[in-house]
Amino acid sequence: MERNGERRRTASSGKANGRLEVRPARTLPQSPAAERNKRAILEVLERVLPASGEVLEIASGTGQHVMHFAAALPQLVWLPTDVDPQLLDAISRRRDAARLPNVDAPQRLDVLESPWPLRRADAVVCINMLHIAPWTATKGLLRGAAAVLPSRGPLVIYGPFRRPDRPTAPSNEAFDASLKAKDPSWGVRDLGDVRALAAGDGLRFEELVEMPANNLTVVFRKA
Ligand SMILES: C[S@@+](CC[C@H](N)C(=O)[O-])C[C@H]1O[C@@H](n2cnc3c(N)ncnc32)[C@H](O)[C@@H]1O
């Protein structure tokens, strides 16, 4: 996982000064980007999430975000999900360590699959997935979120975007090129395309929040 100069380093063994550096086998993976952006994202969530209910997190990654949000917003129940079994294991171990009563056991959820393995969520949150997945994942996210949200339920998406109304930041252009070099189906998404698709799924655009490092938080609500 990486974004916009915020590269994730996973724990591993390696050679340091010619000596073998051994780290604990079960170290939890850490995303430096998640550590950097979790407070700013929480500020938005505090405003836009419902007062109570269940929040579904899509593409939870290491689980750092969901633990941070759940500790800060204990009146909400949080359901972390991901498609990657290794990350699901990491989220599970992080949840055991955090002992938060309002975080459910992580579930496998692939946004490309339909229907999703749950019927309803009062809110859906997705951080830094759209650009590190094919465009079909954006389609799957919007279609799936629209299917599980109640009327007025929010979908909150965070990440880098191209905007129709202004030039793309050079850092996001470089990031886009590096993503496409790894996988041509990846790339920084056009916010206009995402909004058009969301509207077709019955998700009304509500708000755009400028975030640090040329990222955006985009809030939609089910009509
Ligand atoms: C850059 S990481 C972001 C993780 C976390 N949200 C964060 O910000 O630290 C991208 C995540 O998208 C997940 N992902 C990719 N394709 C997916 C799919 N089809 N369904 C669900 N999750 C997916 C990956 O497993 C990974 O956890």
Q: Is 141 in the pocket of ligand 1 (CB under 6 A)?
A: no
Determine whether the shortest distance from the Cβ of 68 to ligand 1 is under 6 A: no
The pLDDT of residue 26 is 73
Q: Amino acid identity of 24?
A: P
Angle at 203 between CA 202 and CA 205, to 5 degrees: 135
With b meaning 16 or more CB within 10 Å and e meaning fewer, what string describes 19-44? eeeeeeeeeebbbebbeebbeebbeb
Domain that residue 70 falls in: 2-222
Cα gap 162→151, rounded to integer Å: 28
When divided into structural domains, the chain yields a total of 1
Q: Is the peptide bond before 115 cis (omega within 30 degrees of 0)?
A: yes
Burial (CB count within 10 angstroms: exposed 0-12, middle 13-18, buried 19+), residue 180: middle
In sequence order, which residues have a C-beta less than 8 Å from that of residue 214 and are 6 or more positions away? 4, 160, 169, 171, 172
Quick: pLDDT tens for 13-47. Answer: 333 344 455 555 579 999 999 999 999 999 999 99
Mutate which of 114, 129, 142 for ligand 1 pocket (most atoms within 8 A of beta carbon): 129
pLDDT digits (tens, 9 = 90+) for 114-157: 999 999 999 999 999 999 999 999 999 999 999 999 999 999 99
pLDDT at 22 (0 to 100): 54
Mean pLDDT, rounded, for 187-209: 98
Is residue 11 very low, low, confident or very high in pLDDT (cuts 50, 70, 90)?
very low
- What radius of gyration do the chain's Cα atoms show? 17
Residue 114, CA distances (Å) to 36, 56, 117, 131, 168 in order: 33, 16, 8, 20, 33
Q: Which atom of ligand 1 is nearest to the CA of 137?
A: 19
* Cα 148 to ligand 1 centre (Å): 19
The pLDDT score that the predictor gives to residue 25 is: 54
Mean pLDDT of the region 154-165 = 96
* CATH (domain of 42): 3.40.50.150
- How close is the Cα of 101 to the center of ligand 1, in Å? 24
**Ligand 1 touching residue 31 (CB < 6 A):** yes
pLDDT of residue 20: 54
pLDDT of residue 21: 53
- Residue 175 host element (H or E): helix 170-182
- Which residue from 34, 153, 52 is spatially nearest to 90, judged by alpha carbons? 34
* 174 DSSP β-pair partners: none
Question: Model pTM greater than 0.85?
Answer: yes
Q: Which residue's alpha carbon is at the smallest distance from atom 16 of ligand 1?
A: 133
pLDDT tens digits for 76-113? 999 999 999 999 999 999 999 999 999 999 999 999 99
Q: How far apart are CA 216 and CA 223, in angstroms?
A: 22
